[in-house]
Amino acid sequence: MGVGQVIRRRLSALALTIACAAPLALTACGSDDPRPPNQPPPGRLAPVEAEYSLKTTPVYYENLQKALEQYQTAYGNYTTEAAVEAVNGLQEQPVAEWVVGDGDDASIDRALEAAKGTVPVFVLYHIPDRDLEQFSAGGADTAAEYQKWARGISKRIGTRNSVVVIEPDALAHIPDMQTPEEASQRVRLLAQTLKLFAENNPNTAVYLDAGNSGWRTANQTADLLGRVERAGAEIPGIALNISNFRTTEETHKYSEAISKAFGRPLYTLVDVSRNGAAPPDRQWCNPGWALIGKTTDRVFDPQELFEDVFIKRPAESDGVCGASTQPAGHFDNNLMWLQLGQMDIAEKP
């Protein structure tokens, strides 16, 4: 039995176990109507099985190539074969398209038109008081402005195949908001956005970001998810570890713990773009020890509980901190070489 088969069998067993533990699922797990072991949990809207799109973020791939060409021009024959292979490998790795409300909405049309049978991944990142005024501060000025923007995104996607991640950090930041009213408004906005895509985008797999295993406990995250559901929207799936560095194994276990606390299985999208090294400390902003992670495959499968993908673009800065002097979201040549494990290159002027 291959590794993929082992993982699939384990996840299917987990889905059945958790579903049978939930009071509302007893009839589905009884002897009269057993759920097939590979049957996905209910409430799933998703595209058909297909490869993730490699034509989502052309500027990013151009930056990768430019960084390699600049190094080759500067150091000529000293360019190592390993460095060339590492950058070429990144150029063949699909990454998500971040939509941040600065007039970039048309990037969705471009990515969908270029997909040609593949599945693009979009990250919506424009909620009011985004990142609570930290390195990625910004977002819509009002809830009404955000709702209008989200409706526009949903309309652009329509019935076309896509994966959408809703608002990194927004859920996990709720306990940190200044007033209960602000927290409640954020809960409502997240619920409204989930409901929007559920009602209008039948071929879109939606994941609500739920932080990472080093931020909130599984019980805390499950409670926050419960608040969103009670606001009127079913949560079909969650995204974990976006722009963070927790290992894939740790994140999968964290997802299982959240699902258990929540009472049912949750489809989980895991950002593995920079988790190739086990974190030696709690640093989260451009740590110099971070390495590119690995995906198990490059095909979206609507029946799999776990999908490991690149959501944060490697070599793009978290902010002016750690190993980067670039603003958040900007490409950093030095970070690229560090994250690829090419330390000798990163240290060159």
**Full strand arrangement of the beta sheet holding 97-99:** 97-99, 121-124, 162-166, 204-209, 237-240, 267-271, 306-309
Lowest mean pLDDT among 2-11, 296-305, 317-326: 2-11
pLDDT at 40: 58
Q: CA 275 to CA 290: how far, in whole Å?
A: 7
Q: How confident is the model at residue 10 (pLDDT cuts 50, 70, 90)?
A: very low
Give this prediction's pTM.
0.87
Q: How confident is the model at residue 82 (pLDDT cuts 50, 70, 90)?
A: confident
Is the predicted pLDDT of residue 193 greater than 50, yes or no? Answer: yes
Is the predicted pLDDT of residue 3 greater than 60, yes or no? Answer: no
**Tokens found for residue 52:** 């993730």
One-letter identity of residue 305: L
Q: Give me the mean pLDDT over the 125-130 stretch.
A: 93
Among residues 125, 134, 70, 133, which one has the least CA distance to residue 102? 125
* CA dihedral for 205, 207, 212, 217, sign (positive or negative): negative
129-160 pLDDT, tens per residue?
Answer: 897 877 788 899 999 999 999 999 999 999 99
15-57 pLDDT, tens per residue?
Answer: 434 444 333 333 333 333 333 344 556 678 899 999 999 988 8
208-236 pLDDT, tens per residue?
Answer: 999 999 999 999 999 999 999 999 999 99
Q: At a CB cut-off of 8 Å and minimum separation 6, what does 276 contact?
A: 290, 291, 292, 293, 294, 339
Q: CA 41 to CA 236: how far, in whole Å?
A: 8
Of 2 and 112, the one with more pLDDT: 112
Q: At a CB cut-off of 8 Å and minimum separation 6, what does 282 contact?
A: 214
246-288 pLDDT, tens per residue?
Answer: 999 999 999 999 999 999 999 999 999 999 999 999 889 999 9
